[in-house]
Amino acid sequence: MTVLSDRVSDLLATEAVAEHRWLTERSWSRPAWTIAELEAAKKGRTVSVVLPALNEEETVASVVETITPLLGGLVDELIVLDSGSTDDTEIRALAA
C-alpha cells in the first residue's frame, strides 16, 4: 500500500509542477509603467485601440469613457467595431 500511495504522491507532485509551469508560461502581469512612461516609449508610433462590440449597450459607454482620457496622448485613435448589434451599442458608443 505504501508503494501505491508513494506513486500517487509522485504523480500528483508531477502534475502540480506541470500545472505551475503551464500557468507561469501563460500568465501576464501588468507592468508598473506610468502613462507618461508609456507615452515616452511610444516614440512616434501610432497606438490604436480597437474595441469589438456585439450587443454591448450595457458596457460600451463605460469602456469608451475609460479610454477617452488617453486620446491625444498614449492613444491616437479609438475604434468601436460594432459587429451588427441589435441593441443600442452604436448609439451608446457614439454618445460616450
Tens of pLDDT along the chain (96 residues) come to 566 666 667 666 677 777 777 877 888 887 889 989 999 999 989 999 999 999 999 999 999 999 999 999 999 999 999 999 999 999 999 999
Give the pTM: 0.63
Phi first, then psi: what are they for 53, rounded to 5°?
-145, 140
d(CA 74, CA 66): 13
At residue 65, the 3 state secondary structure works out as helix
- CA–CA distance, 30 with 3 (Å, rounded to integer): 45
